Structure 1
Amino acid sequence: MKLRLKLYATLGDYLPSGVRGHETTLDIGPETTVQQVIDRLGIPEEQAHLVLVDGVYVEPQARSSRVLREGEVLAIWPPVAGG
Structure 2
Amino acid sequence: MKVSIKLYASFGCFLPPGARNNRVEVDLASGTTVHQALERFSVPLQEAHLVVVNGVFICASERDAYLLKEGDTLAVWPAVAGG
The TM tier, using the shorter chain, reads over 0.9
5+ unaligned residues in a row in structure 2: which ranges? none
In the other structure, the counterpart of 2:46 is 46
**Matched residue, 2:81:** 81
Superposed counterparts of 1:21-40, under 5 Å: 21-40=21-40
Aligned position for 2:62: 62
Distance (whole Å) between structure 1 residues aligned to residue 2 and residue 48 of structure 2: 21
Cα offset for 1:21? 2.5
Structure 2 CA distance for aligned equivalents of residues 39 and 61 of structure 1: 16
Q: 1:23 & 1:66 partners in 2: Cα distance?
A: 20
Aligned residues: 83
If the length of structure 2 is used for normalisation, what is the TM-score?
A: 0.94
C-alpha separation in 1, matches of 2:33 and 2:49 = 16
Give the match's secondary structure for 1:50: strand
Task: Name the CA distance, whole Å, in 2 between partners of 1:57 and 1:20.
Answer: 23
Runs of 4+ aligned structure 1 residues displaced above 4 Å come to none
Letter of the structure 1 residue corresponding to residue 47 of structure 2 = Q
Question: What's the CA shift for 1:40?
Answer: 1.1
Counterpart secondary structure, 2:40 = helix
Counterpart amino acid of 2:32?
A: T
Identity rate of aligned residues, in percent?
45
TM value normalised by structure 1: 0.94
* Structure 1: segments with no counterpart, 5+ residues: none
